[in-house]
Chain A
């Protein structure tokens, strides 16, 4: 398949089951909501080293947030519910409780609940108070800037992580510019995040390594400087590859974000330096969710 001069490989992205949650962070203004959300979603690029993958989903207006202040919604994903609960509580305590004027609320309904402020309340040392408002329990914890307001729990849902595509370009600036265009388009899609820095990964990995202690290592088949030294996937003109990884609440959410991202790159045209779009997979043996690029771009899977 070729779209506007860009080749779309007949391959698929292989994704995994995850557990996810959404938290709404509000503050006195957007600046401080972002400070809180950026801290909370910091060091959360990959479950391999960070425990969770997290990112800012979108901004929310005063009309959309529970307490009528500006805010942002964040999504957080982990491979299991236990890790997600641990990471959420830790990050809430260190990043939201500490951030001036910030408050946190559940952003997703589910029968499965995980703690948001349920244990953080004990920071109040007995001065904390709860309010049951419209069947939801909130905790008011006295802090030095006033009160920290936090909903007791948020919902936890089944989610998918590891949707991805690769951008193969004739130069590093070309690959990065295309990735930025894709991320700009993909950020408009709800229920997904791109957890890596700026939404883009340069260090795609393969499973395993020559070193016993490493269970993942550089994806040498897509490393342009190893074209002559390994079983490469790259043609001679490719000098740089960038990857975009997507986690989302549902299959269709990820597929739609991949579609708009790839389309944004294709819209740049062949002259942008982008030659191919590919995807990372493990032969279909590890992840139950397969995002087939041709189906996504042809609209057959949506």
Chain B
């Protein structure tokens, strides 16, 4: 079996909801049946050149920022985007792997439950956040961002791991409930705003608001466990070797018990 490949025929000028093109929904369909699926009134076969028959391993070639909802509620298999992705990449991802080699728009990993989402480029706001109306964001799984992320990373995040090698915008870990976010680059203002619990692992100290309190420097044995768990993801986080961190706790404005762990990055 060869991977099922969708190659975009013409550049898009509008958003395309790709939520129907997941291993779960294409399972058992042949290439003709897949080609007949309607996306926004257009047949899949009109939008894409198709090849291959392994519906559990899907590849999008020439993908663009207009590809929304890729991998929505996926529970198995893998999706690779050779190019960019639109909004809501990996929305509600329950298992499996999504790899975007380009950039992704806002709300990547929104409502994610489990699995692995990897973005080689940058991503927009609300990475790992909650969809409109929900009180809990990402609830599990792992997100790897090789580039930068926008504002509100991990907003209302409940569980899981986000590792970002680049910079992030403002309000990082805002309203965070639990989980772990690691950032190697710069962090914008108002980090940990209304943070309840969880861990923000940083290598550079951002400007903190008054309700994030310094608890001093400590050697924490649990970091060994955490750093060991980072190793399989092949990121620059694997270069961190110290167990010595400066610990900040907050957000005191909401009686929060979240923490910033500031490590010295020795990459």
Contact = CB atoms under 8 A, between A and B. Distances in A.
B257 A147 contact: no
Interface string B207-251: 000000000001111101110110000000000000000000000
Given A67-B225, A69-B224, A149-B221, 10 more contacts: A66-B224, A101-B221, A103-B221, A130-B178, A131-B199, A131-B225, A133-B225, A133-B226, A138-B222, A138-B225
B257 A126 contact: yes
A147 B222 contact: yes
A151 B84 CA distance: 40
A214 B178 CA distance: 55
Contacts of A127: 257
B180 interface: yes
A223 B224 CA distance: 53
A209 interface: no
Interface residues of B, number: 17
Nearest to A132: B159
A146 B218 CA distance: 7
Contacts of A129: 197, 199, 257, 259
Interface in B148-190: 159, 178, 180
Contact of A131 (B218, B222, B257): B222
A266 B206 CA distance: 70
B161 to A, nearest CB: 9
Nearest to A102: B221
Interface on chain A toward B: helix, strand, loop, or mixed SS? Answer: strand
24 contacts: A66-B225, A67-B221, A67-B222, A68-B228, A69-B221, A101-B221, A103-B221, A129-B197, A129-B199, A129-B257, A131-B222, A131-B225, A132-B159, A133-B229, A134-B229, A140-B220, A140-B222, A146-B218, A146-B220, A147-B220, A147-B221, A147-B222, A149-B221, A149-B222
Contacts, number: 45
A138 B222 CA distance: 9
Contacts of A131: 180, 199, 222, 225-226
Interface string B19-54: 000000000000000000000000000000000000
A138 B218 CA distance: 18
A67 B229 contact: no
Nearest to A147: B220
Contacts of B221: 26, 67, 69, 101, 103, 147, 149
Interface string A145-171: 011010000000000000000000000
A146 B221 CA distance: 9
A16 B159 CA distance: 44
A66 B228 CA distance: 9
Nearest to A142: B215
Contacts of B180: 131
A96 to B, nearest CB: 13
Contacts of A132: 159
A130 B196 CA distance: 13
Nearest to A101: B221
Contacts of B220: 140, 146-147
Contacts of B222: 67, 131, 138, 140, 147, 149
A193 B40 CA distance: 68
A133 B224 CA distance: 11
